[in-house]
Chains A and B, each alone.
Chain A
Amino acid sequence: MSAPSDVKENGRPVQGVEGDVERLRIARDAAIQAAQAAMRDTTRLTRLLTILSEPAPLPILLDRVLSALSELFLADVVVLLDPDGTGSYVPLAAIGLPEDLIEEPMSDAEDGYAVSVMRTRLPVLTSAADSDPKIDSQLSELGIETAVWVPVLGANAARGVLILARCNPAPFANSDVDLLTAMGGRIGMALDQAQRGAQLERLARSGRSIGMHLDEEAVCFEAARILPEMLNADATALFMLDEGGVLRRAAHSGLSPEWSETWRSLAKCLLALPAPACIRTFATSNLPTAFEGFGLEPPQACPVRSLVAVPIQREMLTQGILFAMRFSSTSFTPDALQVAELYAAQVSAALENARLYRAAREELSVRVRAEQALRASDERCRALIRSVSDVITILNVDGLILYSSPAAMKAWGSAAEAIEGKSLFDRVHKEDAQAVRELFSLALSKPRAVFNGEARLLQGDASWRNFEVILVNLLEEPAVGGIVATHHDVTERKTFERKLTKLAFRDPLTGLANRAFFRDRLRQALIRSDSEGMSVGVVFFDLDNFKIVNDSLGHAWGDKVLCTVADRLRACMRKDDTAARLGGDEFTLLVERVEGLAQVMPIVHRLNAALHDPIHLGDRDFFIGGSIGIAISAPNEDNADELLRRADIAMYHAKSSGKGCYAVFDELLNAAAIERLEMENDLRRAIEAGEFIIHYQPVVSMESGRIVEVEALVRWVHPRKGLVPPPEFIPVAEETRLIIPLGRWVLREACRQIASWRDRDGDLRLSVNLSTRQFRSEELLADVAGALRDNILEPSALRLEMTESGLIGDPAMAGDKLKALKQLGVRLAIDDFGVGYSSLSHLKHFQVDALKIDRSFVQGVDKDEHNKAIARSIVALASTFGLHVIGEGVETREQAEQLRTLGCDLMQGYLFSPPLPSADMESLLEKKLGERRT
């Protein structure tokens, strides 16, 4: 605490009231500055989430986001690369890149930062950009001095890179990078969504463009022309089998014909694959390996670096191969492959139509009659031209078929002669019969007019196909004398439309609603709820350990996790609620027509429990877990985007409270976010400033009465707040990875101290806690070995303590890590045993030396039979596996006595001593040593 004379003016102390005023002013300024910093940091997240939640066309959205990033991070240049979406490293959007540089591709060199970030999905930071050879020439040219590259994550992998750069030496802070990485994920989702929408539009357009051609050659030409735009490809080639079974190049674009033979050879190999491989899509971004795999010579000096090959099928037989190729190494995404397959189906259908057209040209007699009858108007001519590949019937006024074209055999599975004289209405599906009769009546009433509709017609005896039916009343035409009906099979189109709809509104991986659909449902739900005076709940969650599975086991397993979670989500929801996957590992649930939180919480509890059940992958169980945010609408006050954003903020809050938590949005969360950020900033500074100390708590052997071990416990001496309790800062340190340097310091300092105490008491041992993140860090083994070596400490003098839950997130990794630690010679303990899983198999698998009974059981052991039973079973378990047991938090003689009776010899707690600063601990040890000597 400062004395009044501490305040100085021109070097002289200011006394009395003036001094008080000055001190208050200084305190106020410091408080305002701290609040400014916290507010600035908080607003960044809020502002970016706000922009991303506002619907806007993609170019406008990206411009807003990049401008905001430039403003919020003082970045002179912001560049977004989206190689997955664009197929190249040309910026998709940029702020600060002058227009003459914006069209130039950034480096896609394997060792370049952009490719490295795409591959590792980890950010890269450089603070000496002016001399860094890996910096892109565009950025060097602008005088960039410091820059950061962060991954932009798509549905399952990195789809792009976000680059922020400054023309001054101020480096980006770690907290900047964390926030940017989170934003990278959000931008990726927006890109995913927009790209899918654009692809659907292009697919719808391409269907029309290709379908309007009735000549096979023209269809092939058009197919090759459109495909590059569809898939952001640089070149395309289409190879088709001719009637003699010879594979010929039917069309190509963007690539010199000299490579034709190369692709023909590859197409032949693909066609020769046994089913079902030959009817599957093939994609690679490693051409040499792919060619070698087929026994082909890899093409030399060919610009193509990645490709996708889709089969063109007819009646389940592959008739050709359509290639899309890129000159960059950017591979085609799973979405792109799906689009390619839909596109190939369009091409197949158009080719089939063209073939039918060719065949139909031979049906001269029918056509000549129809031509004569229909020549009267353009409209009827168009109907005629359409009809050539369709079934044509002539009906009498009762709907009886007087004549049928031979195409009936193929379309309806009946010879023309067999259906003549029967009623058309007999072939119509009963649900469509009424509509067809009405259409027929209309046709009867208006000679020469054209009417059309859709109906399901019988094919064979049992299956139904969709037909477009066009009726023309030519009863008065002597050559016809009936209603001419053309039946155009649109079953493929219908199927395709259904697929498109599904693609537009469904997440293709999990089958849940996608973001667009969810938002739409949420809007509608709000309107309904508002009119009923009810509320709507939005539950927003992401998976805590998804990244571990995805990174360590690969995307295929990651996808399985997402599908499993989707299934569990479905099982938790009510019948009329809507579940969605927004992208990545983010899911939402819309709970409609509720009166308040109370009706949402049972679902949240079910969901929380479901998320914490292990997921079985291969031969291993994974604990994925999730953090859940909940927002409830206020009737007539909230809109969909705001509600979603609130649930999102609540989810962030839940995550920051520790994994596996949930949080309900309220206005206090903003304040909490500020506090948390302040804590994070303080922590970073504290580590640099060395504001941490270690207290030691003795572990006493009841048998000998000696202090056999001390547990190192970190304490933070905050310059303003004083001693900060570990529960306040450890979770933040854990989340921000600051626990790694902090834990390393604790380990080294405690080892140094114990080595010094062991000079006098050679048997004294040390125990140190490891946090989950610290345990998982790759540096742990080196840190432990280094601390032991540098302090010349016997490994057996050190016991490392981990919580059970920290070990079982990835039991295989934990087993390996514990084995390696054992090999160093250190001892291992499971902390807080009994609280979590208390799994026997873990005990067996992990080979630890000791268990610590959690204080919650110890504190009731003398009164509560339940706690006593648990403590007893833990001691029995330990005995079975030959482990030591340590009772934590022993406060009374009764507790100590009970534990001793149960067979627990080692104890720690306030009964023996609170955690002490090192000097006090040293005095205690001296005192105990003195007692032993006397």
Chain B
Amino acid sequence: MKILAGTGASKAIDGREAGREAAMAALAALSGQSPALVVIFTTPRYDLAELLAGIRSVTGDAPVIGATSSGEMIQGEYMGFGAGVGVLALTGGSHRFGIASVANVRDDLDKAAQELARASKAQAGPSPHSAIMLLADCLCGDLQRLVQGVYRITGPKTPIVGGAASDEQKFVQTFVLHNDKIVESGAAALWIASEKPLPVVTRHGWKPYGAPMLVTRAEGVEIMEIGGRPAAAVYEEQLDMEPGTLTPGNFWGAALRHPFGLLQPDGSTIIRVPREKTEQGGLRIQGCVPPSGSAVQVMAGNADMLLEIAGEVASTAIAAHPEAGAIIAFSCAARATIFGPRASEEAGLLQAAAGGVPTFGTYCCGEFARTHGVLGTHNATLTAIAL
């Protein structure tokens, strides 16, 4: 049985009002059926408790999962920073859903992730196929630990997809949402039990720019040395800059367009964005740091290159699951920044390629997609699941 999906958005100033308005619009597409799942991506500017109350006043007891974001994609429309809230309402079709959340996960992300996966799986019940959608506070630590914890429970048969909540790139506080709870420093997981495989598609569009290099020292969230030399100096050299050119003021502008590609055994790259240059000449990385001994390469990309893959993500997902009723997409806030005035194009390209299947997405701060091996965290990447 095909899933029915409806999306709604609101830019209302009051949280409760915005929630109610967006939810009502989403439900309108369900032909009178009750939603089995509600997904929310919202600007963090709302009073989130009020927002949830507004949505749930319309969707009733339907389980809710969501996160704050840095822009939303709603059926081809892009909502920029501070604009409002997007709601996706879904009937179950032949799917069953289970949601769990854990707050204050910072101490042991791995263990918390296992709890999440275990609890959401138990709620959804057994099924021949499944996928898990993971949302997490982007500031709670090494998010790869979270993906790895989930993977311990799912194994390779259950794809992992999702993204880290964002706060319009302020990096101060982000939230995930679960039913009527605003989860602090935590994570939420949606287990989707299905009769058919649920494909996850991931692309980034970045191209290699510099020479391949070896990370020789990395600790915590920082790369200290590349090729035995201070990482920032090597990075500047790769960008043909004089030593010391990059400063706290101009770093982000350069790094945004030149992330690192972590070289994979199959020749592909996983993107890692440097966020800051440290006083000691290291590079602080967003999310998950390439460990010592990793091979990396400076990448380059512009709006054209990064937008080129958007349509392919949606069309590949639909091709793999022709009966899909919705596509949920996770793009990166850094991508939106690069797109600049063309930021609405990614949402448009996704929807155009998805045809009549509604697309719903968020600009997040680190994307989750595990397809091969244990590594499942990305930056500046677009990933999507077709339900």
Contact = CB atoms under 8 A, between A and B. Distances in A.
A74 B214 contact: no
A75 interface: yes
Nearest to A67: B374
Contacts of A77: 155-156
Interface stretch (A10-18, A37-45, A563-571): A37-45
Contacts of B1: none
B263 interface: yes
A170 B266 contact: yes
A76 interface: yes
Interface stretch (B74-82, B98-106, B277-285, B290-298): B290-298
Contact of B373 (A37, A74, A667): A74
Contact of B212 (A32, A44, A48): A32
Contacts, number: 102
A583 B372 CA distance: 33
A75 B373 contact: yes
A37 B132 CA distance: 33
Interface stretch (B16-24, B146-154, B231-239, B246-254): B146-154
Contacts of A96: 151, 155-156, 374
B322 interface: no
A43 B294 contact: yes
* Interface residues of B, dominant DSSP: loop
Given A36-B212, A143-B157, A67 B148 contact: yes
A72 B292 contact: no
Contacts of B291: 47, 50, 68
Nearest to A64: B291
Contacts of A167: 156-157, 372
A142 B155 CA distance: 8
Interface in B195-215: 208, 211-214
A73 B265 CA distance: 6
Contacts of B244: none
A265 B58 CA distance: 79
A37 B297 CA distance: 12
Contacts of B155: 77, 96-98, 101, 142
Interface in B109-164: 114, 118, 148, 151-157
B57 interface: no
B151 A95 contact: yes
Contacts of B154: 98
A71 B293 contact: no
Contact of B267 (A36, A76, A98, A101): A36
A550 B385 CA distance: 54
B374 to A, nearest CB: 4
Interface string A36-71: 111110111011111100000000000000011011
B152 A76 contact: no
Contact of A43 (B118, B156, B214, B228): B214
Contacts of B265: 40, 44, 72-74
A37 B212 CA distance: 9
Contact of B372 (A46, A74, A101): A74
A156 interface: no
A31 to B, nearest CB: 9
A838 interface: no
A765 interface: no
A166 B374 CA distance: 11
Contacts of A48: 293
Interface in A523-561: none
B321 to A, nearest CB: 17
Nearest to A33: B267
A588 to B, nearest CB: 22
A40 B293 contact: no
B352 interface: no
A670 interface: yes
A216 to B, nearest CB: 46
A676 to B, nearest CB: 15
Contacts of A168: 372
A731 B340 CA distance: 56
A36 B263 contact: yes
B255 to A, nearest CB: 21
A257 to B, nearest CB: 40
B264 interface: yes
A362 B374 CA distance: 68
B221 interface: no
Interface string A143-170: 1000000000000000000000011101
A39 B372 contact: no
Given A70-B373, A97-B155, A99-B152, A36 B228 contact: no
Interface string B366-380: 000000111100000
A30 interface: no
A911 interface: no
B190 to A, nearest CB: 18
Interface in A68-104: 68, 70-77, 95-99, 101
Contact of B374 (A32, A49, A71): A71
A35 B212 contact: yes
Contacts of A101: 155
A35 B211 contact: yes
A589 B197 CA distance: 56
Contacts of B294: 43, 47
Interface string B287-314: 0000111110100000000000000000
A32 B208 contact: yes
B293 A142 contact: no
A416 to B, nearest CB: 64
B228 A71 contact: no
Nearest to B265: A74
A179 to B, nearest CB: 11
A765 to B, nearest CB: 48
Contacts of B152: 95, 98-99
Among A32, A49, A98, A667, find the residue whose CB has the most chain B CB atoms closer than 10 A. A98
A38 B214 CA distance: 11
A143 B156 contact: yes
Contacts of A49: 293
A76 B373 contact: yes
A921 to B, nearest CB: 42
A50 B294 CA distance: 11
Contact of A39 (B118, B214, B266, B374): B214
Contacts of B266: 74, 170
Nearest to A73: B265
Contact of A36 (B292, B293, B295, B374): B295
Among B208, B214, B295, B375, find the residue whose CB has the most chain A CB atoms closer than 10 A. B295
A580 to B, nearest CB: 25
B183 to A, nearest CB: 24
A32 B372 contact: no
A670 B157 CA distance: 38
26 contacts: A32-B211, A33-B267, A38-B212, A40-B264, A40-B295, A42-B295, A43-B263, A43-B294, A43-B295, A46-B214, A46-B293, A47-B292, A47-B294, A49-B293, A50-B293, A51-B293, A67-B148, A67-B374, A74-B264, A74-B266, A76-B372, A95-B151, A96-B151, A96-B374, A98-B152, A167-B157
Q: What 6 A-B pairs are tightest by C-beta distance, nearest first?
A: A47-B293, A98-B155, A76-B156, A39-B212, A70-B374, A39-B295
Given A39-B295, A47-B292, A167-B372, 8 more contacts: A33-B267, A47-B294, A67-B148, A74-B266, A75-B373, A95-B148, A95-B374, A96-B156
